[in-house]
Structure 1
Amino acid sequence: MAHGHGLGGCSHEAGPPEDPERGLEYGLHRRIDLERLQCLNERREGSGRLVFRAWEERGARGQFVESDDDEELLFNVPYKNIPHMSFDDTAREADQEFILNKDVTGELEYQTKIARFSSVHHLSIHISKNFGAEQTKILYIGLRGEWTEAQRQEVVICNYEAAANPSDHTIQQVTPQSHFIA
């Protein structure tokens, strides 16, 4: 982004225009059950819900979650990993780990292992450390992917006959036919 100073103060030239479809890729925040979402070690109760929002709102600096006692945060996002993890569970091997970089604009993307995250009903995100501060402050978490409605598996009740009962099956009189080939 170009930056210049003119008679009227600061002027900012926009870089290349953003792809309007990009925000649609980050629409999974609409599928989160915010009432059941948990953020452990958040300083202000309920603030963990604020960071899951639309791509277009990623720059909102007034909505954030900050850790309380130390730098760790643990998000339990109900959508199939381990429902409602606790910090005791974080010693287990993660489905995927990321080394995070500082990102003040909320535009860095981290590629997930597609096979591990193709049918997620619950997601746990553990932030184990930060860049040296006593507390961790998160402004935005974007969840990219496609939502598909869960397919309800119906129970099919079938009756099979191990041996047919002739009285259940009426048939017309069969006239045997013989064919002779000479």
Structure 2
Amino acid sequence: MSGHGHGGDGHTCGSSCDGAHEPAERGVEFGLWRRIDVDRLQCLNESRDGAGRTVFKPWDQRADRQLYVQSDADHELLFNVPFTGSVKLKGIVVSGEDDGSHAAEVRLYKNVPAMSFDDAAEREPDQVFRLNRDPLAELEYPTKISRFSDVHHLAIHISANFGEETTRVYYIGLRGTYSEAHRHQVTICNYEASANPADHRAESIVPQTNFIS
């Protein structure tokens, strides 16, 4: 599937959105999965513990159906995704089954760690996407880069699907760039406690006279 569609406040891009891309090049662009702090990643309302982590995987594994996450009590899923540095998020791909269990709406929240469903209900998202069914992981939803230029934590809330009681996700791809977290170094400065006259010899002394009239 290629070309453009529209959903939410962004548009979807097929494989021709930015011109022809070699698979290897696309793999690099969607390499932010490597920058996720997997040990701290959380998926709320997953039916199987740890399944939410498996959908963040390499670009060339996006069509793999063996690993997936499925919601439990209802159709909602909430991913808390911490990064190991600073991310500029440019686009997202969400892939599922070609049926009513596919995610229909995604809400993104920037830098809100340990977000809950109550938080999602109360907070205004930074961006909302209305999704199309995308079983082959071909549709990219571009973000407002000005809002997602310094992301340390990304909350991904799947708030609706296409009608099933539960939601199933096979792949979430994150496109963007990454920069290492800056470590602040302590600079030690030696200040002169008192002036040494020998170090501050004047070349010449010009006397000044003040006249009082």
In 2 relative to 1, CA 50–169 (structure 1 residues): closer, same or farther, beyond 3 Å? farther
1:52-99 Cα shifts (integer Å, max 9, x gaps): 001110000111000001000000011151001011100210111111
Length-normalised TM-score, structure 2: 0.68
CA-CA distance at 1:19 after TM superposition: 1.3
AA matched with 1:141? I
Q: By percentage of residues, which structure has more strand? A: 2
Task: Count matched residues.
Answer: 162
Partner residue in 2 for 1:39: 43
Which one has the largest radius of gyration?
1
Gap runs ≥5 in structure 2: 2-15, 84-109, 208-213
Match of 1:151 in 2: 182
Kindly state the Cα deviation for residue 175 of structure 1 after the two structures are TM-superposed: 3.2
Aligned to 1:90: 120
Identity %: 59
Q: What is the rounded CA distance, in whole Å, between the counterparts of 1:82 and 1:169 in structure 2?
A: 59
Residue 86 to residue 168, structure 1, CA distance change in 2 (3 Å): farther
1:127 maps to a residue whose letter is I
1:171 to 200, 209, 213: 200
Task: Assess, with a 3 A threshold, how the Cα gap between structure 1 residues 95 and 174 changes in structure 2: closer, same or farther.
Answer: same
> Which residue does the alignment assign to 2:131?
100
Deviations 1:10-47 (A, max 9, x none): xxxxxx99613111100000111111110000001110
Structure 1 residue 123 displacement after superposition: 0.7
- Where 1:70 maps in the other structure, the secondary structure is coil
Q: 1:18 to 1:145 in 2, by over 3 A?
A: closer
Partner SS state of residue 141, structure 2: coil
Larger RCO (alpha carbons 8 Å, 6+ apart)? 2
Change (3 A) 1:177 1:105: same
